[in-house]
Amino acid sequence: MHYVYEETNSLDDRCYTTFGLTPEILMEHAGLALAHAVKKKLTCKKSALFVCGMGNNGADGIVAARLLHGAYNVSLYLPFKIKSELAKLQLERAKKVGVIVVDELIDADIYVDALFGAGLNRPLDDLTCKLLETLNAKQGYKIACDIPSGILSDLTLSSVIFQANETVTMGALKLALLNDNVKDAIGDIKVANLGISRNQYETPSSLFLLHKSDLRLPFRIKKNANKGTFGHVAIVQGSKEGAARLAGMGAFHFGAGLVTLIGEKPKKLPIYLMNSETLPKNANVIVAGMGLEMPFDEVALKTLLLSNTLPLVIDASLSQHPLLCEIIASQKPLVLTPHPKEFSSILELTCKEKVSVEAIQANRFAYAKRFSLAFPHVVLVLKGANTIIAHNGELFINTYGTPALAKGGSGDVMSGMIGALIAQGYTPKDAAISGSLAHALVSRKFTCNNFALTPIDICKGLKWL
């Protein structure tokens, strides 16, 4: 996993004070990384237009144009008067080597957005919005310098955002690039080296971007084993019994030795799933909430969930029921797996805070972190285009999810998978991280039409991770 930052100005300042680097050195390396990205898409017959702003982000673009000029057909478009002293210096250098500055937005094969970067702290004016709309309508390949223009430093958005195929972000990963509402605008993210290694540039952070290598699959290393060695998952079955069945399938396919659905015996049950009306004595974890339609026997469910010390995975309907407050107050090990609407209900129940789904989606990180600090024994898995696993102030961001997972039942399977890992000895946090990663990566390995993925395909796909 890699660190993620809300801002990187402090990291730049550390380069100046600790390593003796200068803003100009960092800028030269930023321009070099941007030029390298552009060069990959250029041939002798193609052209690139750098659309540069008035500050240091614009200066990065000017440096890149200078580095490419002579070998490739590049030009600059400066829609605003240059203000930054470094930008003025870089423009003077670019002109001296012969870089062409055009006075209107011309057609090109590659468009580079170097207008604002991470420092944008105000909504864009109408003129700039029209410029971005025109750029977005162009057919060429689009690269953003640092952050696509229109994404503000406080994670809010302007009415128009540059739609990048690729973003070259400077120095380190920015949190603003990982929110759900910009996933369609950032393209592939590349992190540029600014003159020292990334390890030296970065300092510890409580925010992390997960990678495939962070997935810990429950491989069976121990040879002297039996089904009890790999845990027993108990899943509470609601009136919509199919949801519990999918959770059970997810748990079994992800390594649990035994899986029991608690409740009336369903009409159809996969032969590898068991059924019981009571909690099995050897259960290691309880998964509950999916398919649990209101009303239900609250007293019986409370006894089932709280009359023991077993860890819990809570999803769906229980996220919106007052019983959740008692579950959290019990201090039992707990994983919550809500989607944004369910998280809105959780915040109202537990924090007495009414927050709309729109507000949550606009700043998922702040709400997830605040909740995790309020309840440090709880692991929150906030589902979305980029799923957030939050625990005790730390956020782990999973960007591997695909639209193929946007179907009823997908979340039920993931809850079962997380329960399976807990049953096999993972901590709740590690189970949430690996369960979320495996769930997302399966969708990426699906080779058929992405609209056709089913929850059962997710279970089957776990065999091939």
The pLDDT tens digits of the residues spanning 64-86 come to: 999 999 999 999 999 999 999 99
Task: Taking residues 401-427, report their average pLDDT.
Answer: 96
Residue 57 is assigned to a ligand binding site: yes
Kindly tell me if the per-residue pLDDT of 265 is higher than 90.
no
Residue 123 is assigned to a ligand binding site: yes
pLDDT of residue 120: 80
Considering the domain architecture, whether residues 158 and 84 belong to the same structural domain is answered as yes
Of 144, 174, 205, the one marking the end of a domain is 205
pLDDT of residue 435: 98
Residue 140 is assigned to a ligand binding site: no
Q: How far is CA 99 from the centre of its chain?
A: 39
Q: Which carries the bigger pLDDT value, residue 325 or residue 266? A: 325
Number of domains, the chain: 2
Considering the domain architecture, whether residues 98 and 148 belong to the same structural domain is answered as yes
Query: What does the pLDDT look like over 207-249, one tens digit per residue?
Result: 999 999 999 999 999 899 989 999 999 999 988 888 999 999 9
Residue 118 is assigned to a ligand binding site: yes
CATH code for position 228: 3.40.1190.20
pLDDT of residue 368: 97
Considering the domain architecture, whether residues 188 and 39 belong to the same structural domain is answered as yes
Kindly tell me if the per-residue pLDDT of 128 is higher than 80.
yes
Task: Taking residues 338-346, report their average pLDDT.
Answer: 95
Q: List, in sequence order, the alpha helices (H) in 236-322.
A: 241-253, 298-306
SS3 helix, strand, coil % of the chain, rounded to 5?
45, 20, 40
Considering the domain architecture, whether residues 98 and 195 belong to the same structural domain is answered as yes
Residue 59 is assigned to a ligand binding site: yes
Residue 122 is assigned to a ligand binding site: yes
Q: How far is CA 376 from CA 174, 351, 372, in A?
A: 25, 14, 5
CA distance 118 to 4: 14
**CB 324 within 8 Å of CB 346:** yes
Of 181, 205, 229, the one marking the end of a domain is 205
Considering the domain architecture, whether residues 40 and 140 belong to the same structural domain is answered as yes
Residue 61 is assigned to a ligand binding site: no
Of 157, 176, 205, the one marking the end of a domain is 205
Q: What integer best gives the mean pLDDT of the chain?
A: 94
Considering the domain architecture, whether residues 172 and 238 belong to the same structural domain is answered as no
Considering the domain architecture, whether residues 161 and 19 belong to the same structural domain is answered as yes
What angle do the packed helices 23-41 and 9-19 form, to 10 degrees? Answer: 120
Rg from Cα positions in the chain: 26
CA distance 116 to 52: 8
pLDDT of residue 159: 87
Range of the domain at 27: 2-205
H/E stretch holding 443 reads: helix 428-445
CATH code for position 123: 3.40.50.10260
Residue 60 is assigned to a ligand binding site: yes
pLDDT of residue 305: 95
CA distance 373 to 387: 18
**CB 233 within 8 Å of CB 423:** yes
Residue 146 is assigned to a ligand binding site: yes
Considering the domain architecture, whether residues 243 and 184 belong to the same structural domain is answered as no
Task: Taking residues 129-137, report their average pLDDT.
Answer: 95
CA distance 135 to 185: 13
Residue 181 is assigned to a ligand binding site: no
Task: Taking residues 148-159, report their average pLDDT.
Answer: 85
**CB 45 within 8 Å of CB 106:** no
Name residue 429's beta-bridge partners: none
pTM: 0.93
**CB 155 within 8 Å of CB 362:** yes
β-strands 232-236, 258-262: how paired?
Answer: parallel
CA distance 417 to 436: 8
Sequence-distant (≥ 6) Cβ neighbours of residue 311 within 8 angstroms: 284, 285, 286, 332, 333, 334, 335, 422, 428
Residue 248 is assigned to a ligand binding site: no
Considering the domain architecture, whether residues 220 and 179 belong to the same structural domain is answered as no
Structure tokens at 94: 């670019």
H/E stretch holding 189 reads: strand 188-192
For residue 352, the tally of other CB atoms under 10 A from its CB is: 7
For residue 307, the tally of other CB atoms under 10 A from its CB is: 9
pLDDT of residue 295: 66
Task: Taking residues 355-370, report their average pLDDT.
Answer: 94
Kindly tell me if the per-residue pLDDT of 462 is higher than 90.
yes
Structure tokens at 421: 């890992």
Go through 39-56 and write b for each residue having 16 or more CB atoms within 10 A of its CB, e for each that does not: beebeeeebbbbbbbbbb
Considering the domain architecture, whether residues 92 and 6 belong to the same structural domain is answered as yes
Kindly tell me if the per-residue pLDDT of 316 is higher than 90.
no
CA distance 325 to 359: 23
Residue 56 is assigned to a ligand binding site: yes
Task: Taking residues 338-347, report their average pLDDT.
Answer: 96
Tracing tokens 């600790």 back to the chain, one arrives at 18
Query: What does the pLDDT look like over 274-310, one tens digit per residue?
Result: 999 999 999 999 999 998 876 678 899 999 999 999 9
Considering the domain architecture, whether residues 154 and 54 belong to the same structural domain is answered as yes
The band of 409, judged by pLDDT with boundaries at 50, 70 and 90, is: very high
CA distance 368 to 447: 33
Go through 199-229 and write b for each residue having 16 or more CB atoms within 10 A of its CB, e for each that does not: eebbeebebbbbeeebbeebeeeeeeeeeee
H/E stretch holding 193 reads: none
Q: List, in sequence order, the alpha helices (H) in 254-321.
A: 298-306
Name residue 390's beta-bridge partners: 380, 395
Query: What does the pLDDT look like over 154-186, one tens digit per residue?
Result: 777 888 999 999 999 999 999 999 999 999 999
Considering the domain architecture, whether residues 184 and 255 belong to the same structural domain is answered as no
Residue 214 is assigned to a ligand binding site: no
Range in 35-39, 40-44, 379-383, 440-444 the model is least confident about: 40-44
